[in-house]
Each structure stands twice: as C-alpha cells, then as structure tokens.
Amino acid sequence: MGLAAKKSIVAANRPREFVRRLPLPTILIPSFPTAHSSLLPTPIKLAPSSAPIGRVSAAARMEGSKAAPAKTLPLGLDPTMEEEYESQSKLLGEFASISSIDKAWTFKSENGIGSHAMFAISQANLLANQRRKSILSANVSKGSNSSVCFQWAPFPVEMTGVATMLPSPSGSKLLVVRNPESESPVQFEIWSQSHLEKEFQIPQSVHGSVYTDGWFEGISWNSDETHIAYVAEEPTPAKPTFDGQGYKKCGSEEKDCGSWKGVGEWEEEWGETYAGKRRPVIFIIDINSGEVQPVKGISKHLSAGQVVWAPSTETSPQYLIFVGWSSETRKLGIKYCYNRPCGLYAARAPFFGEISEEDLLVLNVTQGISSAFFPVFSPDGKHLLFLSARNSVDSGAHSATESLHRIDWPANLQALSSAKIVEMISVVQCPEDGGFPGIYNGSFLRKPWLSDGTTIVLNSVWGSSEVILSVNVSSGDLTRISPSDSNAAWRALTLNDDNIIAVSSSPIDLPEIKYGYKEVQDDAWNWSSVRSPMIKCSARVKSLLSSREFNILKIPVKDVSANLTKGASKPYEAIQVSRTSKKYGQLDPLIVFLHGGPHAVSLSSFSKNIAFLASLGYSLLIVNYRGSLGFGEEALHSLPGKIGTQDVNDVLAAIDHAIDKGFASPNRIAVIGGSHGGFLTTHLIGQAPERFAAAAARNPVCNLASMVGTTDIPDWCYFEVYGSEGKDKFTEAASAADLAIFHSKSPISHISKVKTPTIFLIGAQDLRVPQSNGIQYARSLKEKGVETKIMIFPNDVHGLEIPRTDYESFINIGVWFKKYCK
C-alpha cells in the first residue's frame, strides 16, 4: 500500500467516555430506545376541507349532509376483511416485537470470581425497516450446589450502525466495525472496558465493506492482540473515463463534472444476496498504527474467507489459514449452497518480517478433499479441525451430510503439504432408529473447546431438532449433550469454562437461556433454566402460546418398493402444533408448512410467524419430507430425480396421517411454502386440487424450464430433475429435450387443474428464483379465473426477510387463510 493510502487511515487516540457506567463491562455509547405501545404508527385524523368553491343547490347540500364521503380502501384490501386485517396486524406486531438472541461471549472477571456474559440481541424495527441490535450483559456466579446466578444489567445498550464486533482473546479489548452505506470509509474501533482507545477510518481505495455474511465472513485477532485479520471487499476496479472528446487514457479517480465513468467489463458475482458485492479479500490491520495491508499471493480467481491465525513460533514465519473458493469460469450462487468446491489455504501474513517472492506462494493444505471450511485450531495449536461438505460437492446436492476432519499441525510448515487428513466423524448413510444421523449445518463456536483441550462443542441437526454435540478429537467419540428426551431445539451460544450457555426453544415456547454443567461425580450433562429479561412477550401472546402443544410425528413411507434404500424406507417426520384442549366435535383448520431446499429442514425451534398463525386458531403440520437434512444420506438422496412426485406424495401421506389420527379435518386445509416449498405448494394444488382450501407461495419455483436460464443456480435444476446424472448433464445451454423434461416436472404442467385460491409473495431482487417464475404462474391462474393475489416486494430477495416484507407477508397470508379456510 502506498504512503498516501497509509496517511489516509487516521487513528484517533482520544478517550471517549461512556454516557453511563454500568456495573458490568458494557461496550458502546448507549442510545436507549423509547418504549412504544405498538409497532404501528398512530393514525392521523385530518380536519375536513373547507366548503367547495362555487354555488351548490340546497338539495345537493341536504344530500351531502346525509351521505359520508366514500371510503377508499388500500389497493388489494378486501373490504369484507378489513377488520380482520386490522386485528391480525396488531397481533402480528406483538409477535414481531419479540427479540432474538444472536450471539454470546463470556469473559473472566478481574477478581477471578465468577465471570461476565455478553449477549447480542436483535429486534424488528418496522419503522426503520431493519433489525435493531443491542447488547445485554450479566455477571455469572456459581453456587456451592451447582446452581448458577445471572445478575443482569438494568438495560440493553443499542448498537447503532454496528456491522459486527469481536472481543479479543483475553477479553480486554473489543473490535467494533461500522460499514458505510455509501462511499464513505469503513470504521474500525478498538474499545477497552471504559472508553474508545483507537479509531481508524479505512478509505474505499484500500478496501470496501467488511464481510459480515456468516459465510465469507472471517475476523480473527492474533494471539498477542496487536493485529486483526479480516475479510473485506476488494477496492473498486478502475473503470474507463470518457469526456466530450472521447476516452481519456489517464482518467482520474476524482469526480469531475466534465467527464464520466463507463461501466467496464461485467464481473461475475456469487449470486443471491451478493449482488453488487466485490470479491472477498483478506486484510490485516495493525491496531497500534492503523496501517492496513492486504495478504498477497492469493489468486484473483480465488475468493477468500473464514480467516484464522495459524499457531506462531519463534522459528517459523507467521501464517494465516483461510478458506478459498475457486471461480475461474462461472460463479454459481453460493448462498445456501454447500456444493461449491473449497479448500483450506495457508498464506504468509504481512507485518511479520520480510516476505520473499517464494514466501508469496499460497499453499492448499487440503488438496485431497473437495470441500473444507470453518477451520479452528486446538488450544495447544497441535490440531487443525474443519468441516467438509464433500458429499454435496461430489454428488451435486446443494446441501447434504457433512463430515469432521483433523490435520495434525506440523512444527515445520514445509511438511504441511503432505500432512495427513484424518476423518473424525464420517457421513452417516442410514442411522439406526433414534441414532446419530450425521452432522448437518454444522458450526463451531468462537471458542469451542472444553478445558481438556481435546473436546470440541458444536451445533448440528438431528431429525427435526437442533442439538448440541461434543466430539473428542483424539478418540473421535461423539456425545449428544443436549437432553436426548427433549423435542425442543437446542443451540450452544458460548462456553463458560467447562460449562455451556445455550438457548432452547420450541414452536410454542419462547427462546430460553439454559446453563449446562457436569457434576464432579457424574459424566452426564445437567441443564438448568436461567431467568432472562431478553425474551419477553405480551400477556396475550403468552396466553395464546400456552394454549398450544407440539409433538414430532413419525410418518410411515407409503408403497415401500424393493429398489428403495433402507434409509429411504424409514419413516420421515412432521412437527405437529395443535390446541391443548380440543373442541368437542370440531377440528381446527390445518396449515401445512413446507420448507425449501429441498435439502433443508424445518426445526422444532420458535418461529414468530409460525406461532402467529397457530395463535389464529389453526393446527399446523410442518413436514420434513424425505430429502430433508437430519435423517441420513440415503434418505436425502432418495429425492433427486423424483421431485414433484416423491415429495408431493410424502406431504399428502403426512396429511392423511394427521387426518387418521384425528388431528385435522380433510375439508379445511391450507398449504404454504417458499422456494422448493413453493414448488411443492403449487404442485399440490395442481395434483390434488380438491384437498386445499387456500395456498400461499413465497418465491415459488413454478417453471423449471424458464428458471434454468435465469437463476444463479442452474445446476440445481439439473441435479433435482435428473438425480445423480444431473451433475454431468449440466450445461448453460439447455437442450430442447432438457427443457421439455423440466416443464413436465414443474407445477405449471398441472395448472389446468388448479382451483385453490392462492396468494403469491415475491421478492423483486430474487436471483435464486427470479420473479418472472411466480408471476407467470399467478397470471395463468388469473387467466383461468382462480382467486389470486400477487404481492411483489421491490427491495427484497429470495428469503423475504426484510422486516416490513416479513410483516406484511404474514398479515396477508393470515387474512387470506381466514377468508378461505373459515
């Protein structure tokens, strides 16, 4: 980096006092939100206008005095359902106001007695149309009888404008990153427990926004807390400059009213949610000087992420380990897609001695495996662990069972290229009944190790539940440490010495903090509930949730044939939510929920939207059809090549099972799904048109023949339609024969039979299933005279997760279902 760039990074060492000192290690200047009785703005009543200009007859005046002015309803609002719309919007506002627990950290106390915990929480801010982020702290102390006490700070501290933050290894410093909304500099702040120690403004000429996406994202302090490695967008590449005379050879980067910038050559991006994001590159900042340097030697064809520091020694140079995704030709969509090849790489870190041309060589340390991500070193630096999605990469499935691997870190890094990769936890093809099904959606904690230095804690999926696992990396022994008799979802947040701070929830239970510990004489994990002010709800919501119960049903596979594998013949699951006390002789209408993917899973965790619909008086059936994650590899791979048939039949069988058990009425059934769940929704109303009273499709896949040429994951179309052959058949130029098969597998091929009133929720910025897919299907329904409503959210993408989008979507879904199911 040049001298000018270095000078442009300004360090401000001036202390900045907190507005209020709390008895706990709070972090940022508090900006306390005001209390609101409702998330909705108060209606403003306008005064009547003055009398009309001109002469009016007495008869007209008399008529006008009798008749109120005509009421104009908002576009698309059914006048017969306006009161219902208002009522549901208020109830959904109460659900939307419930906070979520996102992350947690623990710190040792200065006196060595007890510890401190810090929780990152978020809440929908509908007026600002974003998530409001805050921090709440607690003192943690343990009693003599294994009890634990959390003493909470009186108020949370709002984290306005914070993109991400990370405490240092010792807990004495905190990095806070603020990404710009325009071309302003990125802001790095280094905080102590009492004040701001350093502040650095990093201009766009050095790098763009820091990645905080959870995938490329990687921020890592070195062991002596003097440098931070992180992933950010590379600087904007130079663009051609033109003026009235034509092209300027030496175009300036400064803005000039007498010239303009051309667009230059189009660059591939990583698809859905990465539109406008430049290539992720690794940088290091010296927190004493503020100097920033990129890590050199990384190929332009490699996107880097998930960076960590390798163990340092006095005799060897300082290295970084990072994940690299190659993209020499096409960048296929990477969001939710684990089937993109990636590996672990080692690169020399700047700032630590002279680096020769030979030192710039970046070494691939996992050449023998097609996928490696989430690297983490053991506390003693002797082992490097990572997860692998090689079954996804090798088969073509966008997500599948993962495996856990270990590399014994050599003292001499020259031997790293020949280091052996040890498989610790293998892919499970067919789990025993109730047995471990494999690792899914695996993720490591920031500090995942117990004090023995050999046991790591991670979260995974087990059937329809999320669970907490421990793995001994020496022996490979795996243990489920969240309660095996619980159907709720459990997720570890952070470790507190050899104890675990976790969160547990269910479809009818708000998230609750849990504290896991072992008795000295007992090897089993014990869990206690922790009272917390973080997750609260209104009295009405609490009452409605208490009137519901949930269970996980086992659904037998119908028509088991000899060519089905053992895993594909085993029962799949559905989460049932219903009233605790049934109405005599009457069943509630049923809503069937279908997840996308198809290789994803609906978990038995709390969902505000699902709880909202249940509170309106519906029973729910949340189906994890075969092909879902969490049930072994054989069950997952039974679906590709059979989409639109096997998954449709699984859902219908689950509905029949619920009816047979007296849980659902066959006459009042609604169905909702997004993405592949929308594919299933629109297939069901076409293949079984008499069974569904209403439907809601969120960014649905309706026509594979049109999707394959416009989506960011055309390979998905080939794999799900052709199965194991799809990976080799994939091409950017689909043949006429391919397009005919794609059409025949699509919901639109059954559209002539559809009768079900259907509402469509579509994100205009969706790159995964472009809006034309759902709109074509919806227009075809309108053409047939089927009751149809289309809502397009101009600024949202595939997940439809922007707060206002999410809120308005489920108000309209609730009202739509009320109109046609009751």
Mean pLDDT check: name the lowest of 106-115, 391-400, 424-433, 445-454: 106-115
User: Which has more pLDDT, 313 or 131?
Assistant: 131
Confidence of residue 129 (pLDDT cuts 50, 70, 90): very high
Chain segment 327-384, per-residue pLDDT in tens: 877 899 999 999 999 999 999 999 987 777 777 789 999 998 999 999 999 999 999 9
DSSP code of residue 751: G
Confidence of residue 31 (pLDDT cuts 50, 70, 90): very low
Q: Is it the case that residue 8 has pLDDT exceeding 70? A: no
Count H helices, E strands: the chain? 16, 41
- In one-letter notation, the amino acid at residue 720 is E
Q: Could you give the 3-state DSSP secondary structure of residue 736?
A: helix
C-alpha span between 90 and 92 (Å, rounded): 5
697: β partners:
673, 760
Kindly state the average pLDDT of the residues 408-417.
80
Q: Is it the case that residue 53 has pLDDT exceeding 50? A: no
Chain segment 491-530, per-residue pLDDT in tens: 999 999 899 999 999 999 999 999 999 877 778 899 999 9
- The reply to whether 602 belongs to the active site is no
How many residues are present in the chain?
822
Whether 637 contacts 717, CB under 8 Å: no
Whether 730 contacts 785, CB under 8 Å: no
Q: Is it the case that residue 73 has pLDDT exceeding 90? A: no
Confidence of residue 74 (pLDDT cuts 50, 70, 90): confident
Q: Is it the case that residue 262 has pLDDT exceeding 50? A: yes
Confidence of residue 49 (pLDDT cuts 50, 70, 90): very low
- The reply to whether 675 belongs to the active site is yes
Confidence of residue 101 (pLDDT cuts 50, 70, 90): very high
Looking at residue 251, its pLDDT comes to 66
What are the tokens at 634?
Answer: 């054989």
Whether 647 contacts 680, CB under 8 Å: yes
Confidence of residue 17 (pLDDT cuts 50, 70, 90): very low
User: Which has more pLDDT, 559 or 754?
Assistant: 754
Looking at residue 310, its pLDDT comes to 95
Q: Could you give the 3-state DSSP secondary structure of residue 675?
A: coil
Looking at residue 249, its pLDDT comes to 84
Considering 239-243, 363-367, 624-628, the range whose residues carry the highest mean pLDDT is 624-628
How many other C-beta atoms are found inside a 10 Å radius of the C-beta of residue 429? 17
What string of H, E and C letters represents the secondary structure of 578-624? EECCCCCCCCCCEEEEECCCCCCCCCCCCCHHHHHHHHCCCEEEEEE
Kindly state the average pLDDT of the residues 184-195.
94
Kindly state the average pLDDT of the residues 767-787.
97
636: β partners:
none
Kindly state the average pLDDT of the residues 79-106.
94
- The reply to whether 36 belongs to the active site is no
* Residue 130: its H or E element: strand 130-142
Per the listing, tokens 């691939």 go with 364
Kindly state the average pLDDT of the residues 756-762.
98
Chain segment 545-597, per-residue pLDDT in tens: 999 999 999 999 998 888 899 999 999 999 999 998 877 778 999 999 999 99
Q: Could you give the 3-state DSSP secondary structure of residue 208?
A: coil
DSSP code of residue 210: B
Kindly state the average pLDDT of the residues 406-430.
88
Looking at residue 118, its pLDDT comes to 96
C-alpha span between 653 and 232 (Å, rounded): 48
Which listed residue (647, 712, 766, 806) is catalytic?
A: 766
Selection from 447, 505, 443, 376 nearest residue 115 by Cα: 447
Chain segment 602-620, per-residue pLDDT in tens: 999 999 999 999 999 999 9
Q: Is it the case that residue 213 has pLDDT exceeding 60? A: yes
Which listed residue (675, 746, 749, 809) is catalytic?
A: 675
Q: What is the dihedral of CA 620, 625, 629, 632, to 10 degrees?
A: 130
* Residue 798: its H or E element: none
- Taken in order 460, 462, 466, 469, is the CA torsion positive or negative? negative
Give the DSSP per-residue string, 438-453: -B-S-EEEEEEE-TTS
Q: Is it the case that residue 204 has pLDDT exceeding 80? A: yes
Which listed residue (97, 749, 798, 806) is catalytic?
A: 798
Q: Is it the case that residue 664 has pLDDT exceeding 90? A: no
Kindly state the average pLDDT of the residues 36-44.
36
Q: Is it the case that residue 61 has pLDDT exceeding 90? A: no
Looking at residue 416, its pLDDT comes to 81
Give the DSSP per-residue string, 24-55: S---S---PPPP-S-SSPPPPPPPPPPPPSS-
Q: Give me the percent of the chain exceeding a pLDDT of 70.
A: 90
Q: Is it the case that residue 726 has pLDDT exceeding 90? A: yes
Kindly state the average pLDDT of the residues 809-817.
97
What string of H, E and C letters represents the secondary structure of 678-692? HHHHHHHHHHCCCCC
Looking at residue 560, its pLDDT comes to 85
Kindly state the average pLDDT of the residues 299-316.
90
